[in-house]
């Protein structure tokens, strides 16, 4: 018999699969990806466990959930309950395609206050349309018996009664199954990050509604929001390359010519204006090696044209101080490590 296992790449979901595999079930992993979280950890764990893995992009569904979650947010912009409900619902819809009998997860009762309390688990099961066919092997003995158990597909006595945030039992199981280098139970989702969540709120306020291409851009660089334009400045060479890839045809791209500097992408609500392009160029200089010079040459390009601007230090110093409280004497751009963030 085959089971569709929601595989996050964390230890709990891997342990759930191991427990079911011990009972002779065939595991097919299922994971999801979006601009807020990737599938890399799940891919790595599935490869290690020799489980087939299905990866589903749910970007559009996630955007709708983040815009207006039925069950609200966690501490930041994370609609954990709505998000998990959507994943379980989609897993149920995929059961026939992969000839699986039920869905299993690595959820632990009480481990996450928002999405893994008893009421939340009941909501997920009921609203996903899978009542009785969602098995949580790590906490099954603390939960009502499922149809999966009643039908004898799994032995209830071989399932576990783990609850709470202690990781002791999971560590013991990891040793039993010889699992090493597993991911922590938290992390992996940008919506739980306070800095990213703050930027996402600003983006939503600026744009009015969230768009996929904006959310991808929000992951990288430094961000400055004006009334009708948004400036994103790369922090290292890796981000510079990514920003060039993410730039839309209608975006403005800016780089310094006279000295080494970052890649800047400017996204407008409507049509670009020379004044706003110049302001974005001044911001770009602030994070370049040109900021130590008396003047700087900046190149900007769009789909239709390319121009160079020669700017004086007095102009960018005045603009940065008056508009962003930034001193032009800050650390210059250079080839930086990934964790560099002045």
Continuous H helices in the chain: 11-22, 40-49, 59-67, 80-94, 118-127, 147-150, 168-176, 194-207, 212-218, 237-246, 274-286, 313-324
Beta bridge partners of 307: 300
Domains belonging to the chain, first-starting first, are 2-176 (3.40.50.620), 220-324 (no CATH)
pLDDT band at 341 (very low <50, low <70, confident <90, very high): very low
Question: Is-contact 277 299, C-beta < 8 A?
Answer: no
- CA-wise closest residue to 226 among 196, 255, 265, 268: 268
pLDDT at 260: 93
- Kindly report, residue by residue over 21-51, the tens digit of the pLDDT: 999 999 999 999 999 999 999 999 999 999 9
Mean pLDDT of the chain: 92
Model pLDDT for residues 165-174, shown as the tens digit of each residue: 899 999 999 9
The 10s digit of each residue's pLDDT in 2-12 is 999 999 999 99
Residue 329 has pLDDT above 60, yes or no: no
136-147 pLDDT, tens digit per residue, is: 999 999 999 999
d(CA 19, CA 158): 8
Higher pLDDT, 187 or 275: 275
Give pLDDT, residue 330: 44
> What is the Cα–Cα distance from 79 to 68, expressed in whole angstroms?
9
Residue 23: Cβ-neighbour burial (10 angstroms; 0-12, 13-18, 19+): middle
pLDDT confidence of residue 183: 66
Answer yes or no: is pLDDT of 185 > 80: no
């Amino acid at each position: 018999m085959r089971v569709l296992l929601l595989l996050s790449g964390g230890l709990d979901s891997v342990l759930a699969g191991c427990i079911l595999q011990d009972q002779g079930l065939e595991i097919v992993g299922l994971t999801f990806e979006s601009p807020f979280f990737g599938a890399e950890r799940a891919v790595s764990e599935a490869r290690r466990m020799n489980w087939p893995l299905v990866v589903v992009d749910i970007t559009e569904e996630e955007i709708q959930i983040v815009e207006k979650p039925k069950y609200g947010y966690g501490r930041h912009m994370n609609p954990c309950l709505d998000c998990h409900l959507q994943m379980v619902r989609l897993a149920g819809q995929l059961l026939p395609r992969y000839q699986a009998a039920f869905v299993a997860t690595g959820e632990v009762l009480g481990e996450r206050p928002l999405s893994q309390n008893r009421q939340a688990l009941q909501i997920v099961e009921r609203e996903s349309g899978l009542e009785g066919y969602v098995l949580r092997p790590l906490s099954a003995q603390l939960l009502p018996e499922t149809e999966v158990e009643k039908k004898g597909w799994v032995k209830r006595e071989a399932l576990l009664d783990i609850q709470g945030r202690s990781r002791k039992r999971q560590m013991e199981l990891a040793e039993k199954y010889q699992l090493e280098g597993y991911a922590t139970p938290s992390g992996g989702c940008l919506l739980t990050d306070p800095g990213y969540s703050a930027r996402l709120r600003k983006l939503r306020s600026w744009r009015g509604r969230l768009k996929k291409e904006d959310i991808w851009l929000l992951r990288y660089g430094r961000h400055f929001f004006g009334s009708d334009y948004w400036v994103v400045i790369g922090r290292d060479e890796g981000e510079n390359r990514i920003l060039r890839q993410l730039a839309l045809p209608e975006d403005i791209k800016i780089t310094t010519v006279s000295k080494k500097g970052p890649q800047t992408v400017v996204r407008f609500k409507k049509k670009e204006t020379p004044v706003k392009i110049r302001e974005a160029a001044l911001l770009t200089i602030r994070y370049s090696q040109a900021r130590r010079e008396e003047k700087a040459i900046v190149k900007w390009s769009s789909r239709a044209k390319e121009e160079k601007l020669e700017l004086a230090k007095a102009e960018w110093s005045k603009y940065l101080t008056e508009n962003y409280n930034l001193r032009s004497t800050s650390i210059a751009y250079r080839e930086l490590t990934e964790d560099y963030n002045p």
